[in-house]
Structure 1
Amino acid sequence: MSAETARQALLDHAAGGLTSLCRCWKVERRDGVSFGFTDHDCEVSFEGTLFKADSGLVASALVQTTGLSVDNTEALGALSDASVTEADIMAGRFDGASVQAWLVNWADPEARFQLFAGSIGEVSRSAGAFRAELRGLTEALNQPQGAIYQSPCSAVLGDGKCRFNTNAAGYFATPTVAEVTEARVFLFDGLEMFQARWFERGMLRLTSGAGAGLSGVIKNDRSRDGRREIELWAPIEAEVAVGDALRLEAGCDKQAATCRAKFANFDNFRGFPTIPGEDWLTSYPTSSNAATGGPLTSSSPWPTE
């Protein structure tokens, strides 16, 4: 049944006076795990998703507009081991998850109308419950546009602007955890082939264990007692055990010299390394210096010849 046909079937049902309507929500996380919820007292199923009635999920009034302003609402629910858990929220597994909401005839789920499509924004939790901000599809338009003129590169290593292949040999490692402290400091064996500080500013991505799918930005990369010590800026919000597998990705400090020497990718460098600095912008001519047409200050980045 097409979307228009399903909508018309719902309108015909509502026009009958005696209705059997409910709301259903589908939440799909970025790791591919999906959940179905409904405010009906029985389960509802359509489009291959089972919408559970025991989730305790409800939604506040939906704000929708015909312009480009951001549609928004809130989802409220109880934390449950069977659906949304506090551990998953703290780990960020629901951050940016896609959300769809329908008005459905529970007696005939083919008769339905989509009320909302968007993503989860801020999520808070307290007293065994959670509150999630829902953002409409126009939220994606609420981003800065245009280029920023700055000395360091504005691209992210491996993205469409950088174009560097982060799967290239020598730029990643897949070790197992030899020792871990507070899910923030990791020790590894067998990484001697990588230069010191090779992974600083890179990513640590867990591929097994309770934290599989989670990642963190690397703050420090140093050797300690014959082992490699990797420290993250913030701890992984899940239990990490010795023997868990992960992926370490080389880091980039956004400097032109690093792009050229470490990654041989200067053709795609997105910074402006010769842009004048603050000293040049605040310089001015003085009577004590000869007006030769050369640089105003010795700190100028421009050639003196």
Structure 2
Amino acid sequence: MAIVRKSDSLGETSVTPEAIFWKRREFIKSFTGALSVSALAPGIVLSDNTVAQKSSKMIGEELRGELSSEFVVTHHNNFYEFSTDKQEPSRKARNFKPDSNWKINISGEVDKPGDYTLERILSRVNEEERIYRLRCVEAWSMVVPWTGFELNQLISLVKPTSKAKFVEFKTLHDPEVFPGQKRGAFGSYTLPWPYSEGLTIQEANHPLTILATGVYGKPLPGQNGAPLRLVVPWKYGFKSIKSIVSIRFTQEQPVSTWNERLPNEYGFYANVNPKVDHPRWSQATERRITDESFFGVKRIPTKPFNGYAGEVAHLYKGLDLRKFF
């Protein structure tokens, strides 16, 4: 059974078509409050009753014309639990329909550990729409309209202790659901399942870091990481772990899957950096994918921190980003 929320109770005919997605929402014309201009985050669209974090005009000019189509976002996916082929996950995930009883185990250095259903979490947080750039380590990119909530809202609910320095995430491990997790499924590409990722507590608390529950105004499809995935827009896409079932707060830096598998190619931090090449290709430019024919691809320069340097660079002050890549 698919997750159903109040906003999902409308019939199929009420779902906003992609073609009028932008027309449906009026950007907020101004913003107030204590936020300074230098602290405002680009690429965010907030609900109309929320203080805007950046001028809506700037958001629209920057990303409106670059929005990747819904078909591209849902049919060009790296999700090795289903397949190493980018089009296969959309087919193999058709029967993966997690319901509202999906559980996330929260453990480690927190005052309120336990198994939390997604329904319980969603009743305590504020979901909103955000448009973010997505940059894959393979040098392709998209612009995606996510629905989700700031991870810091969940962190506030579970109350980490002062010992919590990192946050570890794990995806569902079930070979019956994910054929790619079966022994030998990918030969030399076999990964140490379950897929694991991690952030520093400062990265996890940053307002740009979200847990996504939907895309294009609809619940996340399986191939996009249903029902809950991490989105960290200034990092390479492999950091945005999908189908999360475990969140652990720890004193030690957690093991992340690709960093464990190929540490010379995939760093723990994985911040988008056009000056630090992958050992097998340049990261100076990227292929922006826009339309469903996949001919809508243009090569563009890659921006430091994927264009979010003004908001997140301070997190890495004094850190050698070539060593801690």
What TM-score, normalized to structure 1? 0.23
Structure (1 or 2) with the larger CA radius of gyration: 1
Greater RCO (CA < 8 Å, at least 6 residues apart): 2
What TM-score, normalized to structure 2? 0.22
